[in-house]
Amino acid sequence: MLEVHDLTKTFGSMTAVSHESFTIQPGEIMGLIGQNGAGKTTTFRMLLNFLTPDSGTIMWNGQPLTAKAYDQIGYLPEERGLYPKMRVEEQIVYFARLRGMKTAAVKAQIPAWLDRFQVKGKRTDKIKDLSKGNQQKVQLIATLIHMPKLVILDEPFSGLDPVNASLLQAGIEMLRDHGAAIIYSSHDMGNVEAISDHLVMLRNGEVVLNGTVDAIRQSFGRTKLFLESPLTKQQLQATPGVVQVVAHGSGFELTLSDPAVGKTLFAQATANGYIPEFRQAPPTLDEIFRMKAGAAHA
């Protein structure tokens, strides 16, 4: 289990991370989100001991992280760091040996990993001869092949097409199913919502959201309403508590100031009986992100 408690990191007069706390259990995926400059990469660098916190603690299974513990970590940086003139097999073996694996064991596993991520290229190809997407997959294999217990992924989905993003998602879920604690950052709220068990959002270095995706969404109330009925756009807009009405398929998507407004709308829409659609839901994670990232206060 990874426990981060009250982390603070400053650079001169700028506070990059302020009193940050969260916990990641084994077999749990945590999404770390926030605008550029929110403190995500600084958090990762403190976890990896690249930066020393000004205050706060980082504990792994109840103990401070040691050199031996770092051999159980897999880290994929946002900026790729492969050696272009090395061959695929050489590159993977090199990084795996840094994590304590034996060369023979690594070479035996490489074909299965290349197949898992559908790398288009041979193990004897030089990195520079692969496409950028396949280079990224090779670096991901180098990050995961030693089956780390803690996985840190900085914008792993960046630049991947939907097919390769699905392969990456499957790889992350495979590590989770083997008991790894996983933390990753992403600007794609769709990916975050699809695979995160837990979510932390930073704004200006401070934690402004912390919880399961479902709990966070529900905390904002069911202020989105999808409606297909005889009611016109003008009638809907005239209803007190309706903030916005936009076309949605053959009906409308409404934003409400208060979830209770849904009861009034349901009564109006069903006054003459059956209607094809009435669905009330909390805001999407993408909408919540935009609300919180742009808010003046937490």
What is the CB neighbour count within 10 angstroms for residue 296?
4
Q: What is the pLDDT of residue 66?
A: 81
Interior/surface letters 63-74, b for 16+ CB within 10 angstroms, e for the rest = eebeeeebebbb
Predicted TM-score of the model (pTM): 0.83
Q: Which sign does the torsion angle of CA 257, 258, 260, 262 carry?
A: positive
Q: Rounded to an integer, what distance in angstroms lies between the CA atom of residue 237 and that of residue 244?
A: 7
Q: What is the mean pLDDT of each run of 10 residues along the chain (298 residues)?
A: 96 95 96 92 94 95 84 85 89 91 94 91 90 87 92 86 86 92 90 90 94 92 95 95 94 95 96 96 90 63
* Alpha-carbon distances of 284 from 25, 148, 221, 224, 281, rounded to whole Å: 25, 32, 11, 9, 9
Tokens standing for residue 93: 């073996």
Assign residue 6 a region (left: φ > 0; alpha: ψ between -120 and 50; beta: otherwise): left
Domain-by-domain residue ranges, the chain?
A: 2-218, 221-281
Question: Among 17, 78, 1, which residue's Cα sits nearest to residue 53?
Answer: 17
**How far are the Cα atoms of 81, 95, 259, 296 from residue 263, in angstroms, in the given order?**
55, 59, 8, 31
CATH number of 221-281: 3.30.70
Instruction: Check for a shared fold between 2-218 and 221-281.
Output: no
Q: How would you classify residue 12: left for phi > 0, otherwise alpha for psi between -120 and 50, otherwise beta?
A: left
How far apart are the C-alpha atoms of 200 and 207, rounded to whole Å? 7
Q: Are 245 and 254 in contact (CB under 8 A)?
A: yes
Sign for the CA dihedral angle at 82, 86, 91, 94 comes to negative
Say which CATH architecture domain 2-218 belongs to: 3-Layer(aba) Sandwich (3.40)
